[in-house]
Amino acid sequence: MKRYSTTKTKFDKSGLRVYSTTYYPEIPIENSDTFILTKVGDRLDNLAYKYYGDNTLWWIIAKGNGIKGMTGLKPAQAIRIPGNIPKILQKFEDLNR
């Protein structure tokens, strides 16, 4: 699921289309989570593809680890891969209706 697919758009006073705010759910630690140490060249989108089969879900890994403003990761960085994707995506959709 693309993260902007549920984001509403509107038109501002000048007629330009703008996106509404996208809200992301909190992602608490669960038993289904996987913990890894990153390797040289690991990126959030590549990890999302490896674990979820969908590189557009990189934001779940970022949100689950408090990562902002970067997709590249340092080697030997401890990262949590959230495991209950259907639950996370449902919360995401609920927040952005």
- Residue-by-residue pLDDT tens, the chain, 97 positions: 566 666 677 888 898 888 788 889 999 999 999 999 999 999 999 999 999 999 999 999 999 999 998 878 999 999 999 999 999 999 999 998 8
- State residue 53's pLDDT score: 97
Q: pTM for this structure?
A: 0.83
- State residue 10's pLDDT score: 80
- State residue 15's pLDDT score: 86
Which amino acid appears at position 5 of this protein? S
C-alpha dist (Å) from residue 83 to 21, 26, 33, 51: 25, 14, 4, 9
φ/ψ of 88, rounded to 5, equals -65, -45
